A and B are shown apart, each in its own frame.
Chain A
Amino acid sequence: MSEKGEVDLTGAKQNTGVWLVKVPKYLSQQWAKATGRGEVGKLRICKYVSFTLNEELTVIEGIEDKTVSAPREHPFTMQSVGGQTLAVFTENSSDKIALEGVVVQRAECRPAVSESYMRLKRLQIEESSKPVRLSQQLQSPVTNNYKPVANHTYNLEYERKKKEEGKRARADKQQVLDMLFSAFEKHQYYNIKDLVDITKQPVIYLKEILRDIGIYNVKGTHKNTWELKPEYRHYQGEEKTDE
């Protein structure tokens, strides 16, 4: 495990220089749509730096208007790093960290202002200014709930379920004890309701059995819960005595 956490410093040693470029959201979206090798455009550097977006990437999805498209020309505004040291490190899918290099130049990618860009922006603004939640008035009141019925559907289902299950029958005491013991192996404290669910026994019968082998916690953190008597427990670190 000495590999983990070890930073690969080759980039720093070589003093690899990189550029940090701030790119508008729509442009990065377009770049994500690039096909093939991922070519997105051309970077022209002379006295100024500018980026030209490839033709095929100017079509913006989701906007039907054909006159609205992403602009092609994007001049870069170059900025200096200042005194700040900005390093770039990468994280692998296998959690390997490597230092790729140091930022030597910062730049901002701006779109060349054009009509289509303005329209695009306008659409964007309209979309983002829509409130997330909207109150609407209904034309007519909702009428398909809370109608008076003879018996609600939920109740009907409930009663049907009950009938199907039938009253809980008292099973053999030994069986019930086995069930209880196995349940108490999993957890120490149980609510009476949960025990009834697990064992499917009538409450009174179950309580009788529980009174034999368990105790009822009235106060403390585990309030109103049943637990096995100490002599029946065999949790870790405790003595075991069977019934």
Chain B
Amino acid sequence: MTSLGSSSSSATEYTVRVPKNTSKKYNIMAFNSGDRVNCSTWTQARMERDMSARRIYGEEEMQEGAAGSEFGKKQREEARRKKFGIVTREFKVEDQPWILKVNGKAGKRFKGQKKGGVTENASYYIFTQCPDGAFEAFPVHGWYNFTPLAKHRTLTAEEAEEEWGRRNKVVNHFSIMLQRRFREQERGEDDDDEGEKSGKKKKKGGGRGGDLRIHDLEDDLEMSSDDSDSSMGDDGESKTKAKKDTGKGKGKKKKKRKSNEEALEDSDDGDYEGLEVDYMSDDSSSDEEPEGKGKLSKGEDHPKGIDEASESEEESEEEKQNEEETKEEEEEEEGKKTPVQVEKKKKKDSSGESDSSDDSDIDGETASALFMKKRTPPKRGGGRGSAGSSRTGSRPGTPSIDSASTSNTLRAAASKLEQGKRQPQGPVTDSPAAKRLKMEPNSQSPAPSGKSTPQPPSGKSTPSSSDVQLTEEAVRRYLIRKPMTTKDLLKKFQTKRTGLSSEQTVNVLAQILKRLNPERKNVNDKMHFYLTE
């Protein structure tokens, strides 16, 4: 506008005209300021109405006349609609959005949606200056807000929901769209080979995350080789790079998983047999409880266990155990320490290929996982147990451990814990999972009774690394806790568990008592010993 707003001090007057017979309808095309649209840079533009809403509005036209049509169907449908009060809005072409394509195929695309309410209370006019200096005012017919359309691929609603569910696990976000593109490609090549495609799809679907999913490690590794073949340049590289990263993480986890597998399988060896639920237990059950709990919370209690273990007498065993324990500690520390997580891994191991929804209820599945796990190990445990028991000759001295296999480390550690703390209250982490686990094994205790040796309720098959040892320390602890008769004490140190014969037990117990010299008192006509510290 050249002569508008000029700095003339004297007023200039212009006539304003409102042309009457204009056939053109004026509209406003509004762009967002952030899009930085400059109309003068457009070389070519096409604009059409977006009629995609028509099919939603239009009824399904049954064939007019002839096959498939009914006489008077339209009227009947209309009457029905009126009866139910269904009001269908008409499809007005005037209100449909515009699709604007600038600079041809490779240029930008915009969608212009009509803004309502513009002409309701006030009118907008476009003032243009004519060559003769007068202004012409045209009323604005409609206002359209134009927004740029994304040219890149986007996820559909279902896919977006899936990815949302995996958002905490997904590290490599590039792979999300990549996978989708692969899937689309395959769908495009559907005609060629169905079988091949399905196989490929499964593989790709398996590695669909490319993400941190432990059980898909093999699939992903296979995939990475495939991808490098078929992928497009940078994408492939980034993907393989990402795979390496995730692979590393997975490797770590795999290692951990393996160690956990081994450890778990062994420790599952009838451990939770005979575990009782009742925490307000009598003495008889107090043994089993700490044991089981010790096992479950071995992660957290490792430092404690080791400290306490160092207090106990056998040093050789300690050293060995310490080594293995520290190793295990490292492995444990890599992962998580709560029993729940341990169970989670168990579950993943047992249930080969779990589904990808990691937000699923873990607790609910641990029970089943445990059940599954229990079926298999008991046999092995039984075999090993008998071998172990035959191995140990003298009991309290050196509970020999399978030094060869790290498999016993967990059990060893747990046994140390047992020695370490004979407290009636269980270990610190009384998680519900642990509790439930105990319940489950309890119900199962009659089941694996097919073992060769009738296992004591604590379920330890090898007395060598048993939980109960007839030591002065243990007796002292019992006596401090509450007054006990000799009979009670004997019950505590059952022959099956300590590995001693009954005579030996009696002898050893007598010696210990002599050493301890506990106080006596008579309760219910029975002589009780007790210590006060």
Q: A5-B48, A43-B16, A187-B70 are in contact. Are A28 and B139 (CB under 8 A)?
A: yes
Task: Report whether B13 and A44 are in contact in the complex, using a CB–CB cutoff of 8 Å.
Answer: yes
Question: Chain B nearest CB: distance from A68 CB in Å?
Answer: 20
Task: Report whether B14 and A17 are in contact in the complex, using a CB–CB cutoff of 8 Å.
Answer: no
Q: Which residues of A contact B8 (CB under 8 A)?
A: 46
Determine which residue in A9, A102, A237 has the highest number of CB atoms from chain B within 10 A of its CB, and name it.
A9
Q: Does A85 have its Cβ within 8 Å of any Cβ on chain B?
A: yes
Q: Does A83 have its Cβ within 8 Å of any Cβ on chain B?
A: yes
Question: Which residues A75-95 have CB closer than 8 A to chain B?
Answer: 82-93
Q: Does A179 have its Cβ within 8 Å of any Cβ on chain B?
A: no
Q: A46-B10, A93-B23, A191-B72 are in contact. Are A88 and B44 (CB under 8 A)?
A: no
Q: A16-B128, A187-B65 are in contact. Are A6 and B24 (CB under 8 A)?
A: no
Question: Which residues A90-117 have CB closer than 8 A to chain B?
Answer: 90-93, 97-105
Q: Which residues of A contact B45 (CB under 8 A)?
A: 6-7, 9, 99
Task: Report whether B13 and A235 are in contact in the complex, using a CB–CB cutoff of 8 Å.
Answer: no
Task: Report whether B123 and A194 are in contact in the complex, using a CB–CB cutoff of 8 Å.
Answer: no
Task: Report whether A6 and B46 are in contact in the complex, using a CB–CB cutoff of 8 Å.
Answer: yes
Question: Chain A nearest CB: distance from B405 CB in Å?
Answer: 72
From A21, A28, A88, A194, give the contact of B28 (CB < 8 A): A88
Whole-angstrom CA separation of A107 from B128 in the bound complex: 13
From B10, B18, B71, B125, give the contact of A194 (CB < 8 A): B71
Binds A, one of B30-38, B204-212, B349-357, B410-418: B30-38
Q: Does B27 have its Cβ within 8 Å of any Cβ on chain A?
A: yes
Binds B, one of A32-40, A144-152, A157-165, A170-178: A32-40
Q: Does A67 have its Cβ within 8 Å of any Cβ on chain B?
A: no
From A6, A41, A45, give the contact of B12 (CB < 8 A): A45
Q: A43-B13, A93-B23, A101-B128 are in contact. Are A225 and B66 (CB under 8 A)?
A: no
- CB-defined interface of B118-131 with A at 8 Å, one 1/0 digit per residue? 00011111111000
- Report the interface size class on chain B: 35 or more
Task: Report whether A90 and B24 are in contact in the complex, using a CB–CB cutoff of 8 Å.
Answer: yes
Q: Which residues of A contact B10 (CB under 8 A)?
A: 46
Q: Does B19 have its Cβ within 8 Å of any Cβ on chain A?
A: yes
Task: Report whether B123 and A23 are in contact in the complex, using a CB–CB cutoff of 8 Å.
Answer: yes
Q: A25-B123, A45-B14, A46-B10 are in contact. Are A85 and B25 (CB under 8 A)?
A: no
Question: Chain A nearest CB: distance from B267 CB in Å?
Answer: 65
Q: Does A236 have its Cβ within 8 Å of any Cβ on chain B?
A: yes
Q: Does B5 have its Cβ within 8 Å of any Cβ on chain A?
A: yes
Whole-angstrom CA separation of A186 from B69 in the bound complex: 8
Question: Which residues A219-243 have CB closer than 8 A to chain B?
Answer: 222, 225, 233, 235-238
Q: Does B4 have its Cβ within 8 Å of any Cβ on chain A?
A: yes
- Closest residue of chain A to B144 (Cβ to Cβ) is A89
Task: Report whether B127 and A19 are in contact in the complex, using a CB–CB cutoff of 8 Å.
Answer: yes
Question: Which residues B83-141 have CB closer than 8 A to chain A?
Answer: 100, 121-128, 135, 137, 139-141
Whole-angstrom CA separation of A98 from B127 in the bound complex: 17
- Closest residue of chain B to A108 (Cβ to Cβ) is B122
Task: Report whether B126 and A86 are in contact in the complex, using a CB–CB cutoff of 8 Å.
Answer: no
Whole-angstrom CA separation of A4 from B49 in the bound complex: 11
Q: A40-B18, A43-B13, A187-B65 are in contact. Are A91 and B28 (CB under 8 A)?
A: no
Whole-angstrom CA separation of A92 from B31 in the bound complex: 22
Q: A18-B128, A85-B37, A186-B65 are in contact. Are A45 and B29 (CB under 8 A)?
A: no
Task: Report whether A17 and B1 are in contact in the complex, using a CB–CB cutoff of 8 Å.
Answer: yes
Task: Report whether A21 and B29 are in contact in the complex, using a CB–CB cutoff of 8 Å.
Answer: no
Q: Does B185 have its Cβ within 8 Å of any Cβ on chain A?
A: no
Q: A89-B29, A91-B24 are in contact. Are A39 and B123 (CB under 8 A)?
A: no
- Closest residue of chain A to B143 (Cβ to Cβ) is A86
Q: Which residues of B contact A21 (CB under 8 A)?
A: 124-127, 137
Q: Does B47 have its Cβ within 8 Å of any Cβ on chain A?
A: yes
Task: Report whether B126 and A19 are in contact in the complex, using a CB–CB cutoff of 8 Å.
Answer: yes
Q: Does B20 have its Cβ within 8 Å of any Cβ on chain A?
A: yes
Q: Which residues of B contact A7 (CB under 8 A)?
A: 45-47, 100
Q: Does A66 have its Cβ within 8 Å of any Cβ on chain B?
A: no
Task: Report whether B37 and A190 are in contact in the complex, using a CB–CB cutoff of 8 Å.
Answer: no
Task: Report whether A24 and B66 are in contact in the complex, using a CB–CB cutoff of 8 Å.
Answer: no
Task: Report whether B69 and A187 are in contact in the complex, using a CB–CB cutoff of 8 Å.
Answer: yes
Whole-angstrom CA separation of A86 from B37 in the bound complex: 10
Q: Which residues of B contact A41 (CB under 8 A)?
A: 15-16
Determine which residue in A6, A188, A225 has the highest number of CB atoms from chain B within 10 A of its CB, and name it.
A188
Question: Chain A nearest CB: distance from B11 CB in Å?
Answer: 4
Whole-angstrom CA separation of A20 from B127 in the bound complex: 6
Q: Which residues of A contact B35 (CB under 8 A)?
A: 85
Q: Does A168 have its Cβ within 8 Å of any Cβ on chain B?
A: no
Task: Report whether B11 and A44 are in contact in the complex, using a CB–CB cutoff of 8 Å.
Answer: yes
Q: Does B279 have its Cβ within 8 Å of any Cβ on chain A?
A: no
Question: Which residues B350-376 have CB closer than 8 A to chain A?
Answer: none
- Closest residue of chain B to A15 (Cβ to Cβ) is B40
Q: Does A189 have its Cβ within 8 Å of any Cβ on chain B?
A: yes
Q: Does B58 have its Cβ within 8 Å of any Cβ on chain A?
A: no
Q: A21-B125, A25-B122, A104-B1 are in contact. Are A39 and B16 (CB under 8 A)?
A: yes
Task: Report whether B125 and A84 are in contact in the complex, using a CB–CB cutoff of 8 Å.
Answer: no
Q: Does B17 have its Cβ within 8 Å of any Cβ on chain A?
A: yes
Q: A16-B128, A18-B127, A46-B10 are in contact. Are A190 and B29 (CB under 8 A)?
A: no
Task: Report whether A39 and B68 are in contact in the complex, using a CB–CB cutoff of 8 Å.
Answer: no
- Closest residue of chain B to A31 (Cβ to Cβ) is B18
Whole-angstrom CA separation of A17 from B122 in the bound complex: 22
Task: Report whether A190 and B30 are in contact in the complex, using a CB–CB cutoff of 8 Å.
Answer: no
Task: Report whether A91 and B16 are in contact in the complex, using a CB–CB cutoff of 8 Å.
Answer: no
Determine which residue in A6, A12, A19 has the highest number of CB atoms from chain B within 10 A of its CB, and name it.
A19
Q: A44-B12, A88-B126, A236-B67 are in contact. Are A34 and B37 (CB under 8 A)?
A: no
Q: Which 7 A-B pairs have the closest CB atoms?
A: A83-B33, A46-B11, A235-B67, A19-B127, A12-B39, A7-B45, A28-B123
User: Which positions in B face A, CB cutoff 8 Å?
Assistant: 1, 4-5, 8-20, 23-35, 37-40, 42-48, 65-72, 100, 121-128, 135, 137, 139-141
User: Which positions in A face B, CB cutoff 8 Å?
Assistant: 4-7, 9, 12-13, 15-25, 28, 31-32, 34, 37-47, 51, 82-93, 97-105, 183, 185-191, 194, 222, 225, 233, 235-238
Q: List 8 A-B contacts (CB under 8 A).
A: A5-B48, A24-B122, A25-B121, A38-B17, A86-B31, A90-B27, A92-B23, A191-B70
- Given A19-B127, A20-B124, A194-B72, 4 additional A-B pairs, CB 8 A: A7-B45, A22-B122, A28-B123, A41-B16
